Chain A
Amino acid sequence: MPEPLLDVRDLRVSFRTRQGSVTAVDGLSFSVAPGEILGVVGESGSGKSVSMLAVLRLLTNPNVTVSGEVRFQGRDLLALPDKEMRAVRGREIAMVFQDPMTALTPVYTVGWQIAEQIRAHDRVSRREARARAVRLLSDVGIPDAASRVNAYPHEFSGGMRQRAVIAMALSCDPALLIADEPTTALDVTVQAQILDLMRELNGRGSAVVLITHDMGVISQIADRVLVMYGGRAAEEGPRRAVFHGPRHPYTWGLLDSVPRVGGARLRRLPTIAGVPVSPGALPPGCAFAPRCRLRHDRCAELPALAAGNGDAGHRDACWLPPDDRGSLRLTARAAATEGPGTGPDMEKEATA
């Protein structure tokens, strides 16, 4: 395995609230190799966005505390002076956010905002920065970039704005691009265009961390997958391994509960009972245990992220026996498909 580009060790993020301290990310470790696409998947409250904001030190709220180690090209970002951190942001690690409608400052032209980023990092003239902005816009597929560079964000449609935001992120050829749900606010045909664009820039050498809740998007684009639940890693591994042989019951649930566009149609979908754990109410043991149909006594203890059998790169945090996950999954799925009349109504129980 090559030296990782980004190596996050034991990342913890907690918020101070009136009700006390709330842990949003709880000892998360992961790494990104140069040039790879890491897909981070999870539901709301899983800590997937917060952990990436923490990596870039974009959690500016004074009530937030971040600890752990974020090694990027050998430096610990969490220990970097502000000024050096600014030189990393936008230049070496760029970030694209979910909602393209609000991500750009409304009062400046798109070109101005791209040039602003270029000039924040490179000593180039206004002219040169502008020319680069035009090239970037044209690269991300904006037609007639030379005149669109003077357009204001509100004159762009959602898909165009997301392209512009991506163009801006790419302006300094970052080694790593973190994209937080970049296609969630977009229509499916536009999503396909943006995913193609991400693939293309990955082909040019940038590593990508793609945060999403959409298993389909991950399946299409990621090299490796990190499944998060309750601020911790539930499962992590190469895409093929995770999708073809998922090991964690939560991953099973995510994969099974999505209605597909192909294959057999089921009258009822297999579900994950209950609601996603909220960061304020993390159980001491496995965070997923209260919703897990296969929970047992061990689950009161916190499981470590460990390789099962064979593949050292495919790890999961679960107390179930490592060698029989395939048949356990079938058992769990059968239980998850039961109608409301049969079996205990887990949801009521979990939410009461």
Chain B
Amino acid sequence: MTAQNIAAADGTGDARLDGADDAGDARLDGDVLLRATDVTKHYLLRADGLARRRRVLRAVDGVSLEVRAGETLGIVGESGCGKSTLGRCLVRLTELTGGRVDFDGQDISTLSMRRLRPVRPGMQLVFQDPQASLNPRRRAGDIVAEPLLVHRYGDGAAVRRRVAELFDVVGLAAGHLDRYPHEFSGGQRQRIGIARALATNPKLIVADEPVSALDVSIQAQVLNLFADLQEEFALTYVFIAHDLGVVRHVSDRIAVMYLGEIVELAGTEALYEAPHHPYTQALLSAVPDIDDGGAVADGPPRERIVLTGEVPNPVDKPTGCPFRTRCPYARELCALERPRLTPTGHGRRTACHYPLTSA
């Protein structure tokens, strides 16, 4: 069975590298490209001088989701909610503590590194800080060419052609090929990072806060680039961000994370219109609205809910519902039992004992 899997993976990898968009048309809207099942990632903290007990940081704590081919799944949450760690788990940049991840019909969470290799070109990552994720001593062209060389794309001329093509696609000039990362602006560096991710013709791109380090005007340019590329290459995105406006703009569906768990998963419009989880509600209400007198139609003003306190330490997660310590609606049950992510209508799922469905 494994042998067949490898063969299949090899075949797919080659086809993708050849640039043939083979599956694009055949894929039905709604095919699941990536499925995470009960993914956990725990870190053991070193025992310090006094405390004997080794403490466990539950960065990702039982996350299940699926990403359909061609869609953008947004993952949103505050710092420390585990969204970046989850992103790394999804493309197996980090080993899972538990659960499994299926990509393109194959369980990648248990594959050996050698067998993972042919799968890698199909899933790529774009990082937050383009400054830190690009080797400062290499030219932009070489950075983009690297994945092509690693995955044996073709001879030197073919690689050069492909790199030039990628530069054009992401909106960089051919004259930029020989420049070093520090000679670029933040937005251009992020374009290099995107070109590198696109090099191997991936099906899936996991973008971890790709625009949060950029100026507002540049952020819009890069977001547009993401939209254009998705259309052109039928890409599937997992888009991780803390900015609720950005996530709303790019995502078809959104998973809201809190302390390593998904508390709500819903279609974008529905989620922003009427959040089912109290945390989502509070999060949305905390975003400062731009009141421009309706020049860009904003929705009706929302009720403001200012949460007290801050996110608890993921080392000492509250019992029961992780959000109960800050939840304005928490009741007795919330401390006793951890709510499961359960359907709350219209394909939405919410992990709350008392979801805000009636409101």
Contact = CB atoms under 8 A, between A and B. Distances in A.
A347 B171 contact: yes
A244 interface: yes
Interface in A311-351: 339-340, 345, 347-348, 351
B166 to A, nearest CB: 14
B78 interface: yes
A188 B208 CA distance: 18
B216 interface: yes
B358 interface: no
A202 interface: no
B272 A351 contact: no
Given A44-B215, A260-B298, A352-B173, A192 B290 contact: no
Contact of B215 (A192, A195, A276): A276
A196 B287 contact: no
Contacts of A213: 215-216
B299 A244 contact: no
A261 B185 contact: no
A320 B286 CA distance: 37
B217 interface: yes
A214 B216 CA distance: 8
A188 B286 contact: yes
A51 to B, nearest CB: 18
A262 B289 contact: yes
A266 B246 CA distance: 11
Interface stretch (B43-51, B136-144, B222-230): B222-230
Nearest to B217: A272
Contacts of A257: 216-217, 219-220
A280 to B, nearest CB: 13
B1 interface: no
Interface in A237-252: 240, 243-246
Contacts of B188: 275, 351
Interface string A263-287: 1111111111101100000000000
A268 B272 contact: no
B310 A160 contact: yes
Contact of A216 (B171, B285, B288, B296): B288
B282 interface: yes
A272 B106 CA distance: 43
A261 B244 contact: yes
Contact of B220 (A245, A263, A271, A352): A271
B296 A255 contact: yes
Interface in A197-254: 213-217, 219-221, 240, 243-246, 253-254
Which of A193, A220, A261, A268: most chain B Cβ within 10 A?
A: A261
Contacts of B249: 259, 265-266, 269
A159 interface: yes
B277 to A, nearest CB: 14
Interface string B201-223: 00000000000000111111101
B316 interface: no
A215 B290 contact: yes
Contacts of A254: 216-217
Contacts of B289: 216, 219-220, 260-262
A259 B187 contact: no
Nearest to A213: B216
B179 to A, nearest CB: 11
A143 B42 CA distance: 31
B242 interface: yes
A191 interface: yes
A189 interface: yes
A209 to B, nearest CB: 18
Interface string A172-191: 00000000000000011111
A244 B298 CA distance: 13
Interface in B264-291: 268-269, 272, 282-291
Contacts of A21: none
Contact of B223 (A214, A269, A348): A269
Given A339-B228, A340-B171, A258 B244 contact: no
B57 interface: no
Contacts of A340: 171, 224, 228
A188 B295 contact: no
B278 to A, nearest CB: 12
Contacts of A258: 216, 220, 245, 290
20 contacts: A43-B215, A44-B215, A187-B311, A188-B287, A189-B283, A189-B307, A213-B215, A216-B290, A240-B293, A243-B293, A244-B292, A244-B295, A254-B217, A260-B248, A261-B244, A261-B284, A262-B300, A276-B218, A345-B171, A351-B173
Q: 7 closest A-B pairs (Cβ-Cβ)?
A: A262-B299, A244-B293, A259-B249, A216-B288, A257-B220, A272-B217, A187-B78
Given A43-B216, A43-B217, A262-B298, 4 more contacts: A157-B310, A192-B285, A260-B296, A348-B171
Interface of B: 78-79, 171-173, 175, 185, 187-188, 215-221, 223-224, 227-228, 242-246, 248-249, 268-269, 272, 282-293, 295-300, 302, 304, 306-308, 310-311
